[in-house]
Amino acid sequence: MCIFCKIVAGEIPSNKVHENDEFLAFHDINPKAPIHILIIPKQHIENFQSCPGEVMANMTPFIQEVAKKLDLDKTGYRLITNNGEDGGQEVMHLHFHMLGGAKLSWPYQAIEKVAKKYM
């Protein structure tokens, strides 16, 4: 069982923010912003690339509810999913990072690589 499946099963504790039958939102253990939430489907889906569209259809309103619960709907937030090796995905269970609580810098990654390829 993967680490996020263990969190869903309650085998690893988490600081939950929001939950329904299909999805769970909890605080990231190593926050990269004042507010850093992980939003996952309860079923094991490896990443965004293998995620059925129907799951995303239900996940969208759930993510919006999480933002509302934390008042981030008013101040704004960044939503990220790291997909696969180049995307920097470390936990192979689909998750969206919701980052907020401060003005976030942008852009911040891989500038050199982009420049070499396209310039």
Q: Is 95 a catalytic residue?
A: yes
User: Which residue among 21, 30, 116, 117 contacts ligand 5GP (CB under 6 A)?
Assistant: 30
Torsion of CA 4, 9, 11, 16, to 10 degrees: 70
User: Which residue among 78, 88, 110, 114 contacts ligand 5GP (CB under 6 A)?
Assistant: 88
Measured distance CA(100)–CA(79) in Å, rounded = 9
Stretch that binds ligand 5GP, among 24-32, 50-58, 70-78, 111-119 (CB under 6 A): 24-32
Q: β-pairing, 96-100 with 23-27? A: unpaired
Tell me the two tokens of residue 6: 């263990």
Q: Which of residues 36-75 bind Zn ion (CB under 5 A)?
A: 44
Given the residues 18, 93, 95, 97, the one annotated as active site: 95
* Residue type (1 letter), 48: F
> Which residues in this chain contact ligand 5GP in the complex, by CB under 6 A?
3, 12, 14, 26-30, 38, 82, 88-91
